[in-house]
Structure 1
Amino acid sequence: MNNPIEKFTSWWQQALKNNPLNQPNAVCVSTIDENGFPTGRFVDLKAVNEGGFVFCSYFDSAKGKHLENVPNIAMTVWWDHVGYQVRIVGIAKKISDRDADTYWQGRSRDAQLTTTSFNQSAIIRDQSDLTEKLRIAELRYSTNPIPRPENWGGYCINPISIEFLTFAETRLHLRESYERSGEQWKKQLLQP
C-alpha cells in the first residue's frame, strides 16, 4: 500500500476488532515543552483523513501551550493484540470551530461536565476542590445543554513522516517508513 493514511486506517480498523483495551483509541502524543524537553501523554484519537490525525484538548493545557509555542508533534500507537506499532511525526494545527463543535456534541454529558468544570494541568489545593467544581457545574447545567468552552477544541497532526512496524516474534520486524515529499509519499524499508 503506497498511501500511509489508507494503511493507518486499515490497521486501525483491524485493531478495533475484538480489541481488549478499555480505551481502544488511545494514542500517545508528544510535544516539546518550554525547556526543549519532549512530554508525552495519551489522548483519544478522534479521526484520520488525508489532512491528518485528529485529537481534542484544552488549548490552555500544558500540551496546548506547548503546541502554541512549538507545533512540532509526535504520535505513537502500539496495538499489542495485533502486533502493530505506528510512529508519526508532524505539525499540529487547530481544527475549525465547526469541527470542534461536532466533537463536543459527540462527547458524553459526563465528559462535557468535567471539561467545563476543570482547568486541565492547573494546580489544585485538594482533590475535594474537584468534587465541588463538578457539583457546581452539574447544578448550573442540570436542565440545559452544556456549551463547548472556548478553550477546548481539537488539533490535526499533518504528518511529515509515518513509520509502520509489524511485530515478529523472531525480532525480524517489518518496518515501513513513509516520508512526505510535497504531495507524494516516499516509502522505504528499515532494518529492525
Structure 2
Amino acid sequence: MPDSSVAPVIVMGVQGSGKSTIGALLAEALGVPFIDGDDLHTPQAKAKMASGSPLDDSDREPWLRTIAHTIAEHQVQGNNIVVACSALKKKYRDAMRSIVPELTFVHLNGVQDLIAQRLSHREHEYMPTTLLDSQYGTLEPLSPQEQGFVVDVTDGPDDVVRSITSQLGQR
C-alpha cells in the first residue's frame, strides 16, 4: 500500500553511491514507484558522458526539468515517487523544488575511496569512472535550509534503506 504521507524523494549523490539500488529498494519499502533519473537523460547527454566529458549546467537544465515534471505528473495522479538523481549542486535541487517544492533529498554519502572501489566492479552504459573526480568537485552537500538529510553508504543497502525510512518517518 503506497505511503502517501511521504513527500516525493530524490535519492542523490555521486556516481557509484548507490542511488539506483537504494532508490529502488526505498520505493519498494514505501510502496511507491521508482524512476532512475539516468533513464531521462537525452541521447546527446549520454553520448557526451560516454565520451568522458562531464555535463555542464546547460546540459543538465532540461534533464532536471524533466525529472521534476515527471514527479509532478505522478503527484497529479495521487502518487508519490522515489527518483535517483545526482542533484550535485544546490541550484539543481532548487530548480527541481521550483516545480515540486516539497521534495525531500536523501544524500547518499561515502568517502571517495569507497565509491571508487565500488565503481571498479561495475560497468555503466555511459558513465565512465573517470568522471568521479569531477562529480566530487561539483558536489555541494545539502544546506541546513534544504529539506533532506545525509545517509552514510558504508553499510549494506538494507541497512541504508532502514536508516532512510526511519528518518523519513520522523519528518
TM range (shorter): under 0.3
- What TM-score do you get using the length of structure 2 for normalisation? 0.27
| Greater relative contact order structure (CA < 8 Å, 6+ sep) | 2
Structure (1 or 2) with the greater helix fraction:
2
Structure (1 or 2) with the greater strand fraction:
1
- What TM-score do you get using the length of structure 1 for normalisation? 0.25
